[in-house]
Structure 1
Amino acid sequence: MRTQQPKVKADREGGRPLELSIEKLDINGFSADQGWSKSKFMPPCIFYAYTPDQPASSAETKKPSFQKKFGLIFICVPVSPGNSRLIWCFPRNFGLWIDKIVPRWMFHVGQNLILDSDLYLLHLEEQKIMDVGQANWQKSCFVPTKADALVVGFRKWLKKYAGSQVEWRGKYSGGVLPPTPPREQLLDRYWSHTVNCRSCNSAYKSLKVVEVMLQIISVASIGIVATMKQGGMSAVTRNSMVVFAVLSFALSRWLAHFIYKNFHYHDYNHAFR
């Protein structure tokens, strides 16, 4: 997500301080302030951030002004120990034209990379917290900066009002986490997203058709060159068809890799791997 330009110099990797602070925490959740944005956690599973209304100056009060506003809404529903269903949206009052031009699945390709990286980190941290105990989560997490305020706020709320964990009400004995699955299953994108997303599912089927068509064109081109008599086709035409067949086959292989990486499984190479 794009944020306001930093007022302090960023480091070599583009990092900068995040001034996050918890304003209020009670049984109804908590609210936080980041200066240019506000955020709220609404139990049991809703979190959203939004841009507050900017106060108008005395000169601006005489004429209406347009303010760019957006929100980021996360609904994360636990469905079983170690598994959650994530629903999110990005409402805004500007740049809506781009949604009419760029297919939604193209945005999902980049967004899923972020979710995959977070998923792997959360899985590792969940295992570590289970080892030390939910009430002793500080022993497995190092959260020394203001950027960690929301994480600390959520863990405090969970400990104070929810007994530090999800109450499965006997559906899952003790809430024991399942063993770590293979990476292909843990970071699976096809069954967790593609089949459930209308835009991605349509793009997946269309691209698969294009892949098969390219393979057919490649084989057909080679077949035509092979069956034509020596004098029935000029050398230029013959060479052009061979090059066209090779390019079609290479493009089909690239497309197959693109489909697999973006719609099936993308191995996120994380530092903690």
Structure 2
Amino acid sequence: MTTDIKLLGNIQNNNSFNNSANEELPAASEIFQWTKQWYPVAVVEYLDASRPHAMQLLGKDIVLWRDGSGQWRCFEDFCPHRLVPLSEGRVEADGTLLCAYHAWRFDAQGNCVNMPQSKDEQTAVRNCENQKFCAVVYPTQERQGLLWVWAEAGEKAQEESQLQTPRIVTELEDNLDRVEKSPWNFRDLPYGWDYFMENVCDPAHVPVSHHGIVGDRYKDSKYYDMIPVRHISTQDGFAFEIQPTQGNIVQAIHDFQPPCYMKITSTSKDGRQLILALYATPTRPGWCRHIGCQVFVKNSQGKKPQGLSFFGLPLPIWLVHVLASLFLHQDMVFLHYQEAIITQKRKGKWLDAVYTPNPQDKMVIALRRWLENRAGGGIPWAEAYNNDIPQAEKDKQKLFDVWTTHTQNCTVCQNALKNINRLTVLSYVAATVCLFVAVILDARTVAMQAVGASLFSLPPIGFWLALAAGILLAVLGYQLKRFSRLFYVYEFEHAHND
């Protein structure tokens, strides 16, 4: 009862939303089932098809790999023989996944098709037919460039997965002549699924946390209300509209579609729409994988909306990925610490730990209500994790890691980094050659002076051109080296973001 009173006190000036606080809770059979869902786990074009990829989903270790038919598969990441990770194995030329410990091979359906240490071929065939020696297979599908994994394994899971559609971006299926999208980006973030969703339910933080990229912390932190436009549903989430809007925007809606999709739609006066398609897949406690893009819906005159800051420009994919750190790292550190602080203070109740007097917090409260009342109170992590949130990282610099959380898993960025490193070396080599030529030309001038050709003659124009070129190439090499650091780490401090 105390929580209900506090909740009603936190949600002000909206009778319809206040009344929804007294709605009947769903029956146990209607509680949201986290494992009976599709989750986006990777962007297909960024995966290296020649090798297996380790990942986690709801705390389970999984391995992604592409078979001989070109289809991406997902197994639980262990070999049934001695339980070593299959992600440490190989994808063979015949399209099977080989365990690197004893060379057992598995086909796309998880069947063991080869046991090299068997006594004879008949014994190998007999053993391979035993279901005990099969890999654990999760349903997969590719939609809109993403690889989706169903979070349960087995024959029943295969059947159930066919009855449900992933939370795709519907605008990318319709009106293709009027719709464009930016490249997909992805990043493993050091805070949980619920804190990612809470963050994107809260547009009030944007001009403050993302000062200098999206808005100004001193000018754009203004009052607005959040009006529910789709009330809380166990399976379909909820949606809120921001009122009043600012500038050229006539409507702004945040639409949460469980388990992983937040759709933020801004509509301008002339009918253009900008959609931020934001996914968050729960990987393990305290971590999630974010995948997102911008969708541009043109108006009837074919005019395209302006994108989010410079991310709306037609940039190369690798540059979009690199520059994403400038945005993501602006709120990453304090969200990581926020999760640890609230875990310590709330003692089971989120509302007991926070103070939310303003209407801008309505959607955040709705998310926590949905999670508590309709989704079992939280994500059912694999047993090994025991629902424990890891301790906050004391060394803040480790949170700025880009290599582990993105680059090492993105072939586009790896190729771009290789090219930048080659260009860096080439710049230094060319600079050395130019400086060597300048020295030669200068030595020639000195020699001519020595024989009295001209007592006060300056080095020839070629010397100055070679010297200038050498300096410019050396500076270019240095700047390329500095820029390549963004593929590994990007540090950010709000105290220095004026």
TM-score (ref. length: structure 1): 0.77
Partner of 1:30: 238
What RMSD over aligned residues (CA atoms) do the two structures have, in Å?
Answer: 3.3
What's the offset of the Cα at 1:267?
A: 0.8
What's the offset of the Cα at 1:30?
A: 1.8
What's the offset of the Cα at 1:34?
A: 1.8
User: For the residues of structure 1 that align with 2:415 and 2:225, how far apart are their CA atoms?
Assistant: 41
Partner of 1:44: 259
Which SS does the other structure have where 1:174 is aligned? Answer: coil
- 1:153 paired with 2:394, answer no
Q: Kindly tell me: are residues 152 and 184 of structure 1, through their superposed partners in 2, closer, same or farther at Cα, counting changes over 3 Å?
A: same
* Matched letter for residue 432 of structure 2: V
Name whichever of 150-159 and 220-229 sits farther off.
220-229
Q: Kindly tell me: are residues 226 and 88 of structure 1, through their superposed partners in 2, closer, same or farther at Cα, counting changes over 3 Å?
A: same
Which SS does the other structure have where 1:148 is aligned? Answer: helix
Name whichever of 211-220 and 227-236 sits farther off.
227-236
Higher strand share: 2
Q: Is the 8 A contact 1:134 1:164 kept in 2?
A: no
Highest Rg: 1 or 2? 2
* Matched letter for residue 473 of structure 2: S
Of residues 459, 462, 484, the one that matches 1:237 is 462
Q: Kindly tell me: are residues 254 and 224 of structure 1, through their superposed partners in 2, closer, same or farther at Cα, counting changes over 3 Å?
A: same
Q: Is the 8 A contact 2:226 2:359 kept in 1?
A: yes
Which SS does the other structure have where 1:166 is aligned? Answer: coil
After superposition, residues 195-234 of structure 1 pair within 5 angstroms as 195-226=408-439, 230-231=443-444, 234=459
Deviation per residue, 1:56-108 (Å, 9 max, x gap): xxxxxxxxxx8322322221111111111111122222339998953233444
Q: Is the 8 A contact 1:128 1:140 kept in 2?
A: no
Partner of 2:471: 246
Deviation per residue, 1:121-151 (Å, 9 max, x gap): 2101111111113633335444332222222
Higher helix share: 1
Which SS does the other structure have where 1:168 is aligned? Answer: coil
* Structure 1 residues without counterparts, runs of 5 or longer: 4-9, 55-65
Aligned residues: 252
What's the offset of the Cα at 1:257?
A: 1.5
User: For the residues of structure 1 that align with 2:495 and 2:442, how far apart are their CA atoms?
Assistant: 58
Q: Is the 8 A contact 1:217 1:248 kept in 2?
A: yes
After superposition, residues 84-163 of structure 1 pair within 5 angstroms as 84-94=288-298, 95=304, 101-133=314-346, 135-163=348-376
User: For the residues of structure 2 that align with 1:13 and 1:198, how far apart are their CA atoms?
Assistant: 40
Q: Kindly tell me: are residues 17 and 271 of structure 1, through their superposed partners in 2, closer, same or farther at Cα, counting changes over 3 Å?
A: farther
Q: Is the 8 A contact 1:217 1:245 kept in 2?
A: yes
Partner of 2:226: 20
Q: Is the 8 A contact 1:68 1:93 kept in 2?
A: yes
- 1:67 paired with 2:282, answer no
TM-score (ref. length: structure 2): 0.45
User: For the residues of structure 2 that align with 1:252 and 1:142, how far apart are their CA atoms?
Assistant: 51
Partner of 2:390: 177
Which SS does the other structure have where 1:177 is aligned? Answer: coil
Deviation per residue, 1:10-48 (Å, 9 max, x gap): 984333223223341232222212241222212222221
Q: Kindly tell me: are residues 139 and 110 of structure 1, through their superposed partners in 2, closer, same or farther at Cα, counting changes over 3 Å?
A: farther
